[in-house]
């Protein structure tokens, strides 16, 4: 972040911007988009790779760095607006902000304890998704309102609400239930960013804005390369992801808009900054796709599942379904109606959302890892159904499943007939070949009645 903020501030100072504004915009430009990068890594299967984890670590550090920047923002208002406050007035302002922040943090921790040990356990007994969603929205709205009332940025309140609801045994279920809200508001947020940019302002200074966009992408690529190299990645491995981080993230827009509303940045300056940030964000999907194009081919650094939601119950027979595509979902619904206690495993959390809302055990992670399957209680399952569309992965998952559970019935779906032999050798009890079934159905259709 410093490798981006310092050169950016120096360039803006050279262009005639005051030091306070230059450093603020430099800090804003140092952010990358956690939403876009993490979603793309999940789609490309790169979350568990070493470069993917290093990239996520950098993004999480940037997200955490937003907190002190937002807290310091009100203190920049007198300097930016030219008000000559005495030193003791500034000290009083800093002291008030510090005490307010400490009190807010203490209240957040106390509310977290109350929610974890009192409120959430009682609400979960009702097993009502609607009540859980209502609880999450009430906590979010209340804490955000309190933060705004005491003079803290509203974004701090939203962050505190996540701290209150997070790291409990119900956190993943809450996250799954409010996922539709997050997806909807993410779309609204990015649309709103586009509406903030004035095309006329861009056309007035096309060379300046275009040059700043190109220079910023180059600067962020170099800074990201240095940061990823510092995590232990080789130069060849880090070069791709560094390009995927070479854009300005959504938190930068939050910082810029707060600076504008506080009077630190003027309207004309805001349009220049938004045009540069928006330009990098506009081409961010291309940079991310190109930068992480080979990430799925990297070896997995960890075997930990991304997340799991456990709803242990009773004496019903246990079944594990790996791969929640169309075939896996249809199979899960049928087994659920037959009374099986299901555990659903998929790399994409979105495929698990419906089943998490139903109160089933869901594990978002790589089924080739032992801990992921153990989180799905495969060791005690009576039935394991593997619906992975890639045959070579299905073979490896079948072998691992048989090693973890020697007595379970393992049913595997595969595409090609020749894979059947490998699956049987890996430990499959039954194999369903799409190629064989398609041939059989075609023959039946064309045969005379």
Q: In this structure, are 291 and 319 located in the same domain?
A: no
Please, what is the end-to-end C-alpha distance for the chain in angstroms? 72
Instruction: Specify the pTM.
Output: 0.61
C-alpha–C-alpha distance, residues 354 and 340, integer Å? 17
Residue 380 belongs to domain spanning: 307-446
Say if CB 335 and CB 33 are below 8 A apart.
no
Give me the CATH number covering residue 244: 1.20.1530.20
- State the pLDDT at residue 79: 47
Q: In this structure, are 214 and 323 located in the same domain?
A: no
CA-closest candidate to residue 322, choices 340, 342, 341, 339: 342
C-alpha–C-alpha distance, residues 356 and 335, integer Å? 15
- State the pLDDT at residue 38: 82
C-alpha–C-alpha distance, residues 345 and 386, integer Å? 10
Residue 328 lies in a domain: yes
Q: In this structure, are 114 and 23 located in the same domain?
A: yes
Residue 302 lies in a domain: no
Q: In this structure, are 317 and 183 located in the same domain?
A: no
CA-closest candidate to residue 387, choices 309, 437, 331: 331
Give me the CATH number covering residue 434: 3.40.50.720
- State the pLDDT at residue 77: 58
Domain boundary among 266, 297, 328: 297
Domain boundary among 239, 274, 297: 297
What tokens were used for 378? 């495969």
Domain boundary among 297, 329, 354: 297
Mean pLDDT, consecutive 10-residue stretches, the chain (449 aa), reads 93 87 90 85 74 87 82 61 58 78 89 87 76 87 89 80 78 73 80 84 85 93 93 85 89 83 81 89 88 71 48 64 92 87 86 80 86 89 93 93 93 92 93 88 78
């Amino acid at each position: 972040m410093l490798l981006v903020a310092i050169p950016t501030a120096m360039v803006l100072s050279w262009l005639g911007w005051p030091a306070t504004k230059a450093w603020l915009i430099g800090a804003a430009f140092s952010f990358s988009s956690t939403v876009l990068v993490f979603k793309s890594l999940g789609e490309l299967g790169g979350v568990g790779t070493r470069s993917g984890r290093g990239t996520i670590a950098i993004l999480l550090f940037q997200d955490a760095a937003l907190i002190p920047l937002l807290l310091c923002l009100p203190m920049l208002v007198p300097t930016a607006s030219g008000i000559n406050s005495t030193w003791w007035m500034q000290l009083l302002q800093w002291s008030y902000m510090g005490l307010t922040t400490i009190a807010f943090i203490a209240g957040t921790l106390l509310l977290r304890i109350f929610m974890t040990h009192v409120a959430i356990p009682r609400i979960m007994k009702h097993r009502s998704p609607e009540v859980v969603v209502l609880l999450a929205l009430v906590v979010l709205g209340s804490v955000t309102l309190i933060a705004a009332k005491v003079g803290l940025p509203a974004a701090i309140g939203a962050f505190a609400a996540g701290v209150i609801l997070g790291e409990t045994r119900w956190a993943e279920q809450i996250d799954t239930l409010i996922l539709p809200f997050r997806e909807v508001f993410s779309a609204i947020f990015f649309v709103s960013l586009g509406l903030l940019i004035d095309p006329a302002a861009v056309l007035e200074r096309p060379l300046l804005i275009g040059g700043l966009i190109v220079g910023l992408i180059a600067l962020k690529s170099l800074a990201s390369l240095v940061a990823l190299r510092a995590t232990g990645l080789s130069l060849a491995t880090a070069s791709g992801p560094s390009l995927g981080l070479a854009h300005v993230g959504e938190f930068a827009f939050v910082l810029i808009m707060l600076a504008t509303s506080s009077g630190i940045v003027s309207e004309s300056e805001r349009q220049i900054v938004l045009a540069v940030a928006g330009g990098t964000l506009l081409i961010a999907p291309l940079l991310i796709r190109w930068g992480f194009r080979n990430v799925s081919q990297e070896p997995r650094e960890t075997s930990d599942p991304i997340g799991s939601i456990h709803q242990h119950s009773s004496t019903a027979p246990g079944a594990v379904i790996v791969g929640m595509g169309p075939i896996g979902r249809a199979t899960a619904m049928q087994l659920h109606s037959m009374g099986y206690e299901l555990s659903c495993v998929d790399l994409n959390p979105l495929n698990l959302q419906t089943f998490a809302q139903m109160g089933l055990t869901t594990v978002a992670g790589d089924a080739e890892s032992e801990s992921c399957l153990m989180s799905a209680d495969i060791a005690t399952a009576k039935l394991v159904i593997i619906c992975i569309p890639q045959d070579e992965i299905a073979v490896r998952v079948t072998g691992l499943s048989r090693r973890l559970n020697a007595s379970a019935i393992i049913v595997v779906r595969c595409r090609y007939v020749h894979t059947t032999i490998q699956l049987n050798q890996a430990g499959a009890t039954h194999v369903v070949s799409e190629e064989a079934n398609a041939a059989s159905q075609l023959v039946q259709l064309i045969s005379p009645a």
